[in-house]
């Protein structure tokens, strides 16, 4: 048996899955790995392309007929939410004389209102975009453009987009592009729900891989990563889009946490809250709690 796995090239994924990918987990099968952005893996999962696959939690309602949600290996936590970025010169405070003048149509008019703006997002079924839609309900931007993640910050800095929705290491590097944060969607979510933010999930294809066994392999891979962080360093740096070791380390420390080993009660509650709110808003299909939160479903 050879296991097909698709994960992102981000440091948290290459760190977590290093032992499994490199044959260091006892009893696990050989693994062929594909590295791709989550917007790509979301689409690949719909096509049943992999045995194990990293996807956005926002994509689960379209995938649970064919996949089990595993309780480990994904990205979920606190203080790690997506950011909405813009250039400082677009953060105007509206005045009585300008509010009705149409200036708002040229871009971002204040910290809470993106009406009239063009916003670049990293994928239409990403958790980041789902959170953005929930946050901006009632005041949506004029235009959304799906843009490869690495093009978002340069595009906002150059004025091609009024704002951009970013994830991952952009939390640490956006000031280098001369950008400022309009909102931290993780802070907004946590303040509103009291729950961690569910970003990326690991799924096991039904009929292809035993979810209980896969859970054991991934947890062992996580344990080995924590026990010897140096073992994966060269591999992580090879695939990281941001090559600076200090940024890579901060990325891993933020996104690899207790929820990586076990979603637990708070993690499952966060998944249910996200998908429940999104379904109530008509943004995703309705998904029952039992199927959304247990690999044994």
Q: For residue 242, what pLDDT is reported?
A: 63
The predicted model gives 107-136 an average pLDDT of 83
For the chain, the residue count is 297
Q: For residue 290, what pLDDT is reported?
A: 43
26: which 2 tokens? 């006892």
Place of tokens 């843009």: 147
- What SS3 class is residue 203? strand
| DSSP state letter for 184 | E
Give phi and psi for 252, each to the nearest 5.
-65, -45
Q: Which residue has the higher pLDDT, 265 or 168?
A: 265
Residue 61's contacts (CB-CB under 8 Å, 6 or more residues apart) are 275, 279, 284, 285, 286, 287, 292
CB atoms inside a 10 Å sphere around CB 20: 26
Q: Which of 18, 68, 168, 177 is catalytic?
A: 168
CA atoms within 13 A on the CB side of 194: 2
Q: Is 168 a catalytic residue?
A: yes
Q: What is the DSSP string of 7-64?
A: E-SSHHHHHHTHHHHTT-STTPPEEEEEE--HHHHHHHHHTT--SEEEEEGGGGGGTT
The predicted model gives 128-134 an average pLDDT of 96
Q: For residue 104, what pLDDT is reported?
A: 32
Say what the pTM is: 0.88
Q: Where are any strands of DSSP class E within 26-66? A: 30-35, 52-56
pLDDT in tens, 226-244: 999 999 999 999 998 666 8
Q: Is the pLDDT of residue 105 over 60?
A: no
Give me the chain's average pLDDT, please.
88
Distance CA 198, CA 186 (A): 9
Residue 148 confidence class, pLDDT cut points 50, 70, 90: confident
Q: For residue 235, what pLDDT is reported?
A: 94
Closest to 250 in 3D by CA, of 162, 172, 170, 152? 172
43: which 2 tokens? 């689409």
């Amino acid at each position: 048996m050879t296991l097909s796995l698709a994960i992102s090239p981000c440091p948290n994924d290459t760190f977590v899955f290093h032992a499994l990918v490199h044959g260091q987990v006892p009893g696990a099968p050989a693994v062929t790995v594909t590295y791709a952005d989550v917007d790509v893996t979301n689409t690949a999962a719909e096509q049943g392309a992999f045995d194990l696959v990293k996807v956005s939690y926002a994509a689960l309602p379209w995938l649970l007929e064919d996949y089990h949600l595993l309780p480990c290996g994904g990205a979920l936590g606190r203080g790690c939410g997506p950011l909405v970025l813009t250039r400082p010169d677009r953060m105007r405070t509206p005045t009585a004389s300008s509010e009705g003048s149409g200036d708002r149509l040229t871009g971002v008019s204040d910290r809470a209102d993106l009406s009239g703006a063009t916003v670049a997002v990293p994928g239409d079924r990403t958790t980041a975009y789902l959170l953005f839609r929930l946050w901006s309900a009632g005041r949506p931007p004029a235009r959304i453009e799906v843009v490869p993640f690495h093009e978002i910050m340069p595009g906002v800095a150059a004025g091609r987009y009024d704002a951009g929705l970013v994830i991952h290491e952009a939390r640490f590097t956006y000031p280098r592009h001369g950008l400022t944060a309009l909102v931290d969607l993780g802070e907004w979510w946590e303040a509103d729900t009291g729950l961690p933010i569910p970003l990326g999930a690991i799924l096991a294809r039904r009929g292809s891989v035993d979810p209980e066994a896969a859970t054991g392999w991934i947890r062992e891979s996580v344990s080995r990563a924590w026990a010897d962080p140096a073992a994966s360093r060269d591999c992580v740096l090879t695939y990281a889009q941001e090559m600076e070791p200090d940024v890579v380390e901060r990325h891993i420390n933020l996104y690899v946490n207790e929820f990586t080993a076990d979603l637990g009660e708070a993690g499952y509650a966060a998944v249910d809250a996200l998908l429940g709110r999104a379904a109530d808003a008509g943004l995703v299909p309705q998904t029952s709690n039992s199927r959304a939160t247990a690999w044994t479903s």
